[in-house]
Amino acid sequence: MMRELYTQVIMDHYQRPRNRGTLEGADLEEHLLNPLCGDEVTVYAHLRDGKVADVKFDGRGCSISQASASMMTERLMGRSREEAEKEIRTFKAMMIGEKEFPAMDDLAALKGVIQYPSRIKCATLAWTAFQNGLDNAEN
Ligand code: ZN
């Protein structure tokens, strides 16, 4: 039952991705591949006054990689740079079992992925791309 629910959340984000698309003149643009699974993702963001003013992603690949990217955009929208970096660190810690997944949150749907180590990279792909983008962004 829980498993079904989680699958539904992942499929919902996969089929109706939030904030999918590109951003013209993005301050942050980062493309990343996961050759293990064939996933790819590009993340875009406008950074204004130290905040993630807008964020989008584009890509293709397995449902976990694309659903996780969709969830990430919801999570990072409007956050300060420091908050965004903390969200990314926390998510990665959850994906290696070092932190609890938040209850009643779409991210919890990705908890089951931990049992499949080869798929963890699918889930963290967009988040790693965003962190790389922050590292490379000017402000
Ligand atoms: Zn994948």
Q: Contact, 76 vs 84, CB < 8 A?
A: yes
How far apart CA 53 and CA 36 sit, in angstroms, is: 32
Radius of gyration (Cα) for the chain, nearest Å? Answer: 14
Question: In the prediction, which pLDDT does 6 show?
Answer: 73
Q: Residue 81: which H helix or E strand, with range?
A: helix 81-95
Domains (range + CATH), the chain:
2-138 (3.90.1010.10)
Listed residues: CB within 5 A of ion ligand 1: 37, 39, 62, 65, 122
Ligand 1 centroid vs 33 CA: distance in angstroms? Answer: 10
Ligand 1 centroid vs 120 CA: distance in angstroms? Answer: 8
User: What three-state secondary structure class fits 62?
Assistant: coil
Ligand 1 centroid vs 18 CA: distance in angstroms? Answer: 18
The packing angle between helices 81-95 and 117-136, to 10°, is: 160
- pLDDT by residue for the chain (139 residues), tens only, comes to 456 667 899 999 999 999 999 999 999 999 999 999 999 999 999 999 999 999 999 999 999 999 999 999 999 999 999 999 999 999 999 999 999 999 889 999 999 999 999 999 999 999 999 999 999 986 5
